[in-house]
Amino acid sequence: MPVAELIPLGTASAIPTRERHLSAFALRRDGRLLLFDCGEGTQYRLRDAGLSRAKLDAIFLTHFHGDHLYGLFGLLSTLALLERTAPLTIVSPTGLCEMLRALPGLAPDAHPFELRFVELNEGFGHAVVYETDAYTVEARPLDHRVFAAGYRYQEKARPGKIDGEGARAAGIREGWQYETLRRGEPVTLADGRVVRPEGLVGPARPGASFAYVLDTRPCRGGEKLAAGVDLLVHEATFTEAHRDRAYETGHSTAQQAATVARKAAAKRLLLTHFSSRYGELAPLVEEARGVFPHAEAAAELRAYTLTEAVSAAPSMPA
């Protein structure tokens, strides 16, 4: 099974700092890439991460604030210059296609490769916005100053494991007979005996998942996206000391992000979208761990395996 890795490219909110770049997260799986948000400089950060822009299949934008969006134009220009021909899906709030029309060289009808727009209307409830054989991406509305959507990447469940010993005893061989049982269908052996999957095939194994929840106040949409997820990326723009400011500006505190993770029974929490007022992130991580122990601050350019085992109790802030 290909292993999915999430690579934070930018973890700053609003204004980049010397250490942190504007919002963008890349998901690498089976040699291909998905991109969540596309702040200014994302094409540079893909290069810094050693990720090939040519491998990009889809881009998911949460909302139309510049720090999540303004890297898209240069990235699309560069993909055109690199002579891309494969289509590219872009999921976003409604209005992106129209916006690109106003920018030189980006008019979608004249673009050198196909742009497949999936635009979410304000007021939508829930949508599967992208799907392959291996996974789906769904969207739900969040609670920000402007219309924003969060996303959940969910690999499809894998068939259960076959009890090898039991199968051999029943006369089943690997290959098409295994495949048939895995699909939940009976196998007819050469001697006419019928072997049913029940008892030989274990329960389906859930696929890896991650949720991308920013920018938002803590909200139901975020909790639903994060339900039981392997890895929750949730914004934590502020600490509790600025809880009022977080509410006013449509953001979350680290404690609120951790509360969403706990309510949703997520396995791990990565905090991101840090206000430029925080040099060190330890106060945010400590605050989150008070509520949800498996919390850390997303580190730019580090690759996080979605299904990485969590230790019983992390001992110190990142």
99 part of the interface to a copy of itself, by CB under 8 A = yes
Nearer to a copy of itself, 47 or 168 (CB): 47
Query: For residues 120 and 127, is the Cβ–Cβ distance under 8 A?
Result: yes
Q: Is 109 helix (H, G, I), strand (E, B) or coil?
A: helix
Query: For residues 43 and 75, is the Cβ–Cβ distance under 8 A?
Result: yes
Nearer to a copy of itself, 39 or 218 (CB): 39
Burial pattern 121-150, b for ≥16 Cβ within 10 A else e, equals eeebeebebbeeeebbbbbbbbbbeebbbb
The least distance separating a copy of itself from the CB of residue 72, rounded to whole angstroms, comes to 9
> Which residue in 30, 98, 179, 244 binds a copy of itself (CB under 8 A)?
98
What character string, x for contact with a copy of itself (CB under 8 A) and - otherwise, covers 131-170? ---------------x------------------------
Stretch touching a copy of itself by CB under 8 A, among 74-82, 210-218, 250-258, 264-272: 74-82
Whole-number Å distance between alpha carbons of 142 and 222: 6
22 part of the interface to a copy of itself, by CB under 8 A = yes
Whole-number Å distance between alpha carbons of 6 and 42: 15
Q: Is 76 helix (H, G, I), strand (E, B) or coil?
A: helix
73 part of the interface to a copy of itself, by CB under 8 A = yes
Is the C-alpha dihedral spanning 131, 272, 218, 305 positive or negative?
Answer: positive
Query: For residues 312 and 279, is the Cβ–Cβ distance under 8 A?
Result: no
113 part of the interface to a copy of itself, by CB under 8 A = no
Stretch touching a copy of itself by CB under 8 A, among 71-79, 134-142, 242-250, 277-285: 71-79
Catalytic residue among 37, 48, 57, 67: 67
Name the residues that contact a copy of itself, by CB under 8 A.
14-16, 18, 21-22, 39-41, 43-44, 47, 64-67, 69-71, 73-74, 77-78, 81-82, 98-99, 101-106, 146
